[in-house]
Amino acid sequence: MIILKSPREIDIMEQANKIVAETHAFLAEKVAPGITTEEIDRLGDQFIRDKGAEPSFKGYRGYPASICISINEEVVHGIPSPDRVLNEGDIVSLDIGAFYKGFHGDAARTLPVGQISQEAEKLIDITERSFHEAVKKAEPGNRLTDISSMVQAVAEENGFSVVREYVGHGIGHDMHEDPQIPNFGPPGRGPVLKEGMTLALEPMLNAGGYQVKSLDDGWTVVTEDGSLSAHYENTIAVTDTVPRILSEI
């Protein structure tokens, strides 16, 4: 069941997402060669709590940290560690959730560490663009997979593939609400979009094949072929006109 939110509830969700966006801006300044992913997690956790929110991910199904940090071929759900140091040329995805006044905010960005390859730069760019093209489809009267198919179109026309096993989601009082939002497939299917739907759209694009696997830590998802992966996520609200992106400052 898809839970519609009132304008007042969406305003609160915007506050939760603003904390997420501010945490992203704060951590983007810290991303540099030499920092460990544990240090980024610690700084992010503190920043979220200082804003009066709670990290949504901490303890979620046993997830042991506050921020998901995924490097290079890691797609999502990388676990911060004192042994993982960022190196020049890496790309790093930060996925951040904050729970504030009863609602979750959720957003992810992939950032360059120092100078990166042209391919990596293009992957980050196209992943972001796939979100921005797809979100235009989030208008009342359209169908859910109009969003999905646009992500896939942008990814594939640029030579990248779209992860199938992980999807976007509705979001609100719970971090994961209905509907699931695939980033691939034909348009014109799924629920009709309605004013008051709040959705986390999160394209995950790979430079190689779309196949992924999970590591033995039970969390980290990596590309099967070892190719680079990027992630771009925002929480949005469907309105009576154009969608409202809640997690951009």
Residues binding Co ion (CB under 5 A): 106, 200
- Residues 93-107: b if buried by 16+ CB within 10 A, e if exposed: bbbbbbbbeebbbbb
Question: Which residues, 72 to 131, sit near ligand MF3 by CB under 6 A?
Answer: 77, 95, 97, 106, 108
Q: Provide, for the chain, the percentages of residues in helix, strand and coil under a 3-state DSSP scheme, each rounded to the nearest 5.
A: 30, 25, 45
**Using an 8 Å Cβ cutoff, are 180 and 2 in contact?**
no
Sites for ligand MF3 among residues 209-248 (CB under 6 A): none
Choose between 113 and 204: whose C-beta lies nearer to ligand MF3: 204
68 contact, one of Co ion, ligand MF3, none, CB 5-8 Å limit per kind: ligand MF3
CB neighbour list of residue 88: distance below 8 Å, 6 or more residues apart: 33, 113, 114, 115
Which span sits near ligand MF3 by CB under 6 A: 36-44, 54-62, 126-134, 240-248?
54-62
Pick the closer one to Co ion by CB: 77 or 137: 77
In the DSSP assignment, the letter for residue 124 is H
Strand runs labelled E in 62-207? 67-71, 74-76, 91-100, 103-112, 161-162, 168-170, 177-181, 198-201, 204-206
Which residues neighbour 77 within 8 Å (Cβ) at sequence distance 6 or greater? Answer: 63, 68, 70, 95, 219, 220, 221
Residue 64 vs 89, nearer CB to Co ion:
64
State the minimum distance, in angstroms, from the CB of residue 23 to ligand MF3: 13
Q: x/- binding map, residues 179-208, to ligand MF3, per CB under 6 A? A: ---------------------x--------
57 lies in the site for ligand MF3, by CB under 6 A: yes
C-beta of 60 vs 136, nearer to ligand MF3: 60
In the block, residue with structure tokens 């986390």:
200
Closer Cβ to ligand MF3, 64 or 89, answer by number? 64
Contacts to ligand MF3 by CB under 6 A = 57, 60-61, 63, 68, 77, 95, 97, 106, 108, 169, 200
